[in-house]
Structure 1
Amino acid sequence: LSLQMHYHRSEHWIVVRGTAKVTRGEEVMLLSSNESTYIPPCTKHRLENPGTTPLVVIEVQNGEYLGEDDIVRFEDDYDRA
């Protein structure tokens, strides 16, 4: 994912399979199967797959507004706005 944040929603990521490299604010962590993390609103975050095993993650979004136009991107490999 791009390095991004949301004003109106939080996210909870649960790793089902593989290893996830998660950036949450200034913190970078590796999560394995059955581990999770919470991303509060207004927190810069990114999800990456540092390995060769396909990464499977469940993302739960919570907030007053879940629209795609609530994504503020700071870095993006795909040149999206």
Structure 2
Amino acid sequence: MAADKTWTYAELTAALERNIDINRRLAAKENEDGKRAYQLLADGALQLWNSVTTGWQDDGDRARLQALVDAIRPAEAN
């Protein structure tokens, strides 16, 4: 494990975007309960990103990323 690894805001945000996209693609293959599970995984990643980047976020990123997570929700949750 590299103790000297640092992450830029852009790298953290790109990693979250990839995570959300993976969860979105996996959710598309699932029933409503499965979709909800993948949405919750993506939301957990978003909450971690938010806690790490609060005070450093670019304008609009939080809302944009939340919308991506919200789009994973099953039909009855929208």
TM-score scaled to structure 1, two decimals? 0.23
More helix by share: 2
The structure whose residues are more often strand, as a share, is: 1
Identify which of structures 1 and 2 has the higher relative contact order when contacts are C-alpha pairs closer than 8 Å and 6+ apart: 1
TM-score, length-normalised on structure 2? 0.24
